Amino acid sequence: MKNNTSLTKKIVAGKYKGKTLKLPSKETTRSSKMIVVESFFNTIQFDVIDSIVVEVFSGSGSIGLEALSRGAKKVIFMEKDSDALRALRDNIAQTDPKACEVVEGNSFATISGVKKRLEALGEAAFIYVDPPFSIREGMEAIYDKTLAMLASLSLNTVRLIIIEHMTGLELPESIGDFKVVKTKKFGKTTLSYYA
């Protein structure tokens, strides 16, 4: 296995600003670009304070930990890759582990447990979804599965769904009970917001 020590990124703002996050190998995950992260947090701004954030396909956890740094009270990370989970746990340890929950396993299988968790917490969450791009081998059906998973979510547990996806991929106007409210392109990457 090759050495990945050079793969890092920093938390941009908030309580943990400047903390260096480890990134897992690029073969298994793809980190959100800084411009995308900034745009997302500019969009939700102060709504993140005291909120619950779920990061699906979380990789290093950079979105969730940025949210935590900016005032989110709880972050639920969903990840199955062992390399990514190691980096994620190391990154969480630098922040506030008590405010973080890690759900290990295939997100399509573990989403039902996360839905129950959100129902128990009785609060609607921001759901940030950054699936592996479908151009990767074995990932051709990833978007269909992701849309079906999101369609299963209920309005009372979701405040906003944010999907980071390949520019050029046409997502539907609505997913289950949620309708697209905004899209923003950044070169090869687009953020689509559903509420």
pLDDT digits (tens, 9 = 90+) for 122-152: 999 999 999 986 555 656 688 999 999 999 9
CB-based burial of residue 195 (10 Å sphere; 0-12 exposed, 13-18 middle, 19+ buried)?
middle
What confidence score (pLDDT) does residue 4 get?
Answer: 41
* Domain-embedded: residue 82: yes
Domain with residue 79: its CATH number is 3.40.50.150
| Cβ neighbours of residue 110 closer than 8 Å, sequence gap 6 or more | 78, 103, 104
Q: How far is the C-alpha of 103 from the C-alpha of 110, rounded, in Å? A: 7
Residue 15 belongs to some domain of the structure: yes
pLDDT score for 3: 44
Angle at Cα 154 formed by Cα 74 and Cα 171, nearest 5°? 95
pTM of the model: 0.92
What number is the average pLDDT over the span 177-182? 98
- Residue 92 belongs to some domain of the structure: yes
- The confidence score (pLDDT) of residue 33 equals 83
1 within domain boundaries: no
Which helix H or strand E contains 194, and what residues bound it?
Answer: strand 189-194
Question: In whole angstroms, what is the distance from residue 68 CA to residue 181 CA?
Answer: 24
Number of domains in the chain: 1
Report the DSSP beta bridge partners of residue 59. none
Residue at 2 is within a domain: no
Q: Is 177 inside a domain boundary?
A: yes
For residue 34, the enclosing domain spans: 8-194
- pLDDT given for residue 134 in this prediction: 57
Mean pLDDT of 183-188: 94
75-98: b (≥16 Cβ within 10 Å) or e: bbbbbbbebbbebbbebbeebbee
pLDDT of residue 97: 98
Q: Cα 173 from chain centroid?
A: 21
Residue 3 counted as domain residue? no
More confident residue, 180 or 32: 180
Q: Of the candidates 21, 70, 27, which has an alpha carbon nearest to the alpha carbon of residue 48?
A: 70
